[in-house]
Amino acid sequence: MLNQMGMMSWLNLICSLPRTLLSPIVKQFITTSIIPSNFGFCFSSPCVTCLFDIQNDKTCVFDAYFNRNPVASMSPIQTEIGIEPNPVMADFSSRGPCSIEPSILKPDITAPGVDVIAAFTQAAAPTPLEFDNRRVPFTAMSGTSMSGPHVAGIVGLLKAIHPDWSPAAIKSAIMTTAKTRANNRKPILDEKGNLATPFAYGAGHVDPKYAADPGLVYDLTVDEYLNFLCSHGYTPREMQAFSEGTYVCPKNFSLADFNYPSITVLNIKTPVAVTRRLKNVGPPSTYRARVKAPAAVSAVVEPATLTFTKTGEEQTFKVAFKPNEMINSYIFGQLTWSDGVHFVRSPLVMKG
């Protein structure tokens, strides 16, 4: 079966051939390939796609080419805004959990990455087709190569606004202010129309406006990064490559207490408590905690109220998780700290 790139290349090739030559090619194509439904886009832009559908017997019907008098038309370009729902998670977007370190939620965030008009190299054609000799300054592209620059630009913006923020603080600001609802005020969906989870969008869809003023951040120290390496079994000699001098690993460090903006707790068979530390990067204010947890788990925040009297002040809290029933798969929730102006959200990921 052709992979996704192969199918797109085939479609572009078929659409470029005279109709008189298509019959044997299409016949072979539809008997050796299974094309997913709603596959109505080209590999590159600009391009013209053939309209087709998939029947119950898995055969493709190319409307324009099986018609005796095919008619093509072109309409003026229109920019459509306010399309709902938006965003929707792309089918090619990587999903969690993280196979290397499942106790930390991945992905962290999602950002625009589908059909983004971007600058393109003049050293190559916009498609991998051998006969494509075009050189275009811009093209529509999708993937991490598009969403990554969006986040990188936001990081640069935040660093310009807050030059004293650490990389961890910037990441926290981006994650804790991200949106988990689409523009229709309903939860973000995946490519199949099902409810997406933090394994699809992480903390949510990035929102730079709110990331610039998050209120609170989950910051990290150098020692906490070193403790992370300790938890992965780094030897004292290996640790010297990352620390100034000798670093002694703590005996009781748990990755569940790693001061990350998301909270992941695995093996919840008995009550478990995790610790986090918040830094105030806004004006003095009082924040109250609100937890949304599935019925299978009870989650209690202690203390439930944090009062910050100055910028830069840090305070610690704990979240106690208690299973109410057997948990056989991943379940999700959310912890929010708010002073009525700022909403500092952290995804909760739990598994029994």
pLDDT above 70 as % of the chain: 80
Q: What is the mean pLDDT of residues 296-313?
A: 97
Neighbouring C-beta atoms of residue 305, cutoff 10 Å = 11
pLDDT of residue 245: 87
In angstroms, what is the C-alpha Rg of the chain?
25
145-173 pLDDT, tens per residue? Answer: 899 999 999 999 999 999 999 999 999 99
Neighbours of 14 (CB within 10 A): 18
The confidence score (pLDDT) of residue 75 equals 82
Average pLDDT of 88-114?
94
Mean pLDDT of the chain: 84
Decide if pLDDT at 134 tops 60. Answer: yes
Q: For each of the domains in the chain, give its residue range(s) and CATH number, in order of start.
A: 94-220+259-351 (2.60.40.2310)
Euclidean distance between CA atoms 123 and 217, whole angstroms:
43
Give just the sign of the alpha carbon dihedral 323, 325, 330, 332.
negative
Instruction: Provide mean pLDDT across the span 15-20.
Output: 43
Q: How confident is the model at residue 22 (pLDDT cuts 50, 70, 90)?
A: very low
Q: Of 230, 17, 182, nearest to 83 (Cα)? A: 182
| Residue 50 confidence class, pLDDT cut points 50, 70, 90 | very low
Helices of type H across the chain: 4-16, 22-32, 144-161, 167-176, 198-201, 208-211, 222-231, 236-239
Per DSSP bridges, beta strands 305-308 and 285-292 are: antiparallel
Token couple for 316: 């610690």
The closest of 78, 75, 152 to 112, measured between CA atoms, is 152
Q: Sheet harboring 272-280: ordered strands across? A: 216-217, 272-280, 314-323, 297-302
DSSP letter, residue 330 = -
pLDDT at position 14: 44
pLDDT of residue 293: 93
- Under DSSP, is residue 276 helix (H, G, I), strand (E, B) or coil? strand
| pLDDT in the model for residue 339 | 98
Q: Tokens 């057997």, residue?
A: 326
pLDDT-based confidence at 70, cuts 50/70/90? Answer: low
| Residue appearing with tokens 């990188």 | 152
Q: How far is CA 242 from CA 228, 238, 293, in A?
A: 12, 8, 38
pLDDT tier, 68 (very low <50, low <70, confident <90, very high otherwise): low
- What's the predicted TM-score (pTM) here? 0.80
Q: Between 3 and 22, whose confidence is greater?
A: 22
What pLDDT band is residue 25 in, cutting at 50, 70 and 90?
very low
User: How far does CA 315 lie from the centroid of its chain?
Assistant: 29
Is the pLDDT at 289 greater than 80? The verdict is yes
More confident site: 123 or 253: 123
Contact predicate 268/331, CB 8 Å? no
- How many residues would you count in the chain? 352
Q: Report pLDDT for 30.
A: 37
Q: Using 50, 70 and 90 to split pLDDT, how confident is the model at 106?
A: very high
The residues that bridge with 290 in the sheet, in sequence order, are 336
Burial of 47 (0-12, 13-18, 19+ CB in 10 A): middle
Lowest mean pLDDT segment, chosen from 13-17, 32-36, 41-45, 49-53: 32-36
CA distance 225 to 244: 13
5-14, 17-26, 31-40, 250-259: range with lowest mean pLDDT: 31-40
